[in-house]
Amino acid sequence: MDLMKGTIKVAALLVLLLPQWGQASGGAALPVQEWGFKGIFGKFDEAALKRGAKVAVGVCMNCHSLKYIKFDQMRAFGLPEAEIEAMAKDSGRSRKDRMLSVMDAVSAKETYGIEPPDLSLMTKARKGYEDYAYGILTGYLTDQESADIKKAMEDGKLSETERMEVAHVLHMDPRHEDKLKEAITKLEGGGNFNKYFPGHFLAMPQPMQDGAVEYGDGTKASLEQLSRDVVTFLAWAAEPTAEQRKGMGIGVMIYLLVFTAMLYAVKRRIWAKVH
């Protein structure tokens, strides 16, 4: 068991020594959310998915597509056929069509400078996953924050306290005054500032605010709620088979636990003659 001892020592050392594996992004640390659908036993909240689908179709899909999802697939979380049909009609499509954006890619590129990325895999395709998507949606400056920054810059200079304040609001490093000022200049020039986007400026203007969508179920459509719901929907869209996978996994693990224990017992019995 000599090699085993060494291995344990090295493993312990690695756990102590290796700090967090480098975080290479220009954005601030993401606000980590609790997502009920994550984890081994996590399940999607159907009500949240239905609300999220409304947000996705009503807001996101004006510019973005979800090309790997068909409208009809939303029956999976209990959306009635008639509602799906109505959603599809609203974006000029039928129930069996893929969920493509209302605006075509060419005119979107003319308007925003880039082609809006497809959203079907968004929660899997960025570091931070669901938290990233939520961070972007909620990371635009509020009116109050914009006003505060404007006020701080009134005299064209940043005092020590103002600099700390502004850096705090923008989620930037207060030690780099030049970068702060550059960001403020861009911001005043109409740039789309986001606290959590790597590099902070992105092509997408703030897509929605409080009340952007009328929920039918009495839930208050605050920006946070809208974002949570649509991110939940996007997480479902990124891998509609996720629940099937986890459910099957639990069965398989129980089987393996029993089977491996049996194998161990057989191994013990056979080797008993040797030891």
Cα→Cα distances 5→9, 17, 18, 139, 260, Å: 6, 18, 20, 48, 24
Q: At 135, is the secondary structure helix, strand, or coil? A: helix
Beta carbon of residue 208, minimum distance to other proteins (angstroms, whole number):
24
Q: What are phi and psi of 213, to 5 degrees?
A: -130, 145
Rounded-to-integer distance, Cα 109 and Cα 97, Å: 23
Distance CA 39, CA 99 (A): 28
Neighbours of 37 (CB within 10 A): 17
Using rule CB under 8 A, residue 3 touches other proteins: yes
Q: Name the segment binding other proteins (CB under 8 A); options: 100-108, 117-125, 150-158, 210-218.
A: 117-125
CA distance 175 to 169: 14
Contact between 78 and other proteins by CB under 8 A: the answer reads no
Q: Does 129 bind other proteins (CB under 8 A)?
A: yes
Q: Establish if 245 lies at the interface with other proteins (CB under 8 A).
A: yes
Q: Select 124 or 157, whichever has its Cβ closest to other proteins.
A: 124
Question: How far is residue 96's CA from residue 78's CA, in Å, rounded to a whole number?
Answer: 16
Residues 6+ away with beta carbon under 8 Å from 134: 30, 31, 33, 227, 228, 231
| Contacts of other proteins in 194-233 (CB under 8 A) | 198
Residue selected from 43, 89, 127, 176 as contacting other proteins according to rule CB under 8 A: 127
We find the least distance from the C-beta atom of residue 96 to other proteins, in angstroms, to be 7
Q: Does 246 bind other proteins (CB under 8 A)?
A: yes
Comparing CB distances to other proteins, the nearer of 6 and 211 is 6
Quick one: which of 58, 52, 89 has its CA closest to 74? 52
117 near other proteins, judged by CB under 8 A:
yes
Q: Residues 14-53: x/- map of binding to other proteins (CB under 8 A)? A: x---x--xx-xx--------------x-------------
Give yes or no for a contact between 158 and 177, defined as CB atoms under 8 angstroms apart: yes
Contact stretch for other proteins (CB under 8 A) within 137-145, 146-154, 228-236, 250-258? 250-258
For the record, the structure tokens of 244 come out as 């099937």
From 120, 138, 194, 227, residue interacting with other proteins (rule: CB under 8 A): 120
Q: Which of the stretches 11-19, 153-161, 211-219, 226-234 binds other proteins when contact is defined by CB under 8 A?
A: 11-19
Binding of residue 254 to other proteins (CB under 8 A): no
For residue 258, give the DSSP letter. H
- Burial grade of 248 (CB within 10 A; 0-12, 13-18, 19 or more): exposed
Decide whether 40 or 92 has the Cβ nearer to other proteins. 40
Residues of the shown chain interacting with other proteins in the complex, contacts defined by CB under 8 A: 1-4, 6, 9-10, 13-14, 18, 21-22, 24-25, 40, 68, 70, 72, 96, 117, 120-121, 124-127, 129, 198, 239-241, 244-246, 248-250, 252-253, 255-260, 262-267, 269-271, 274
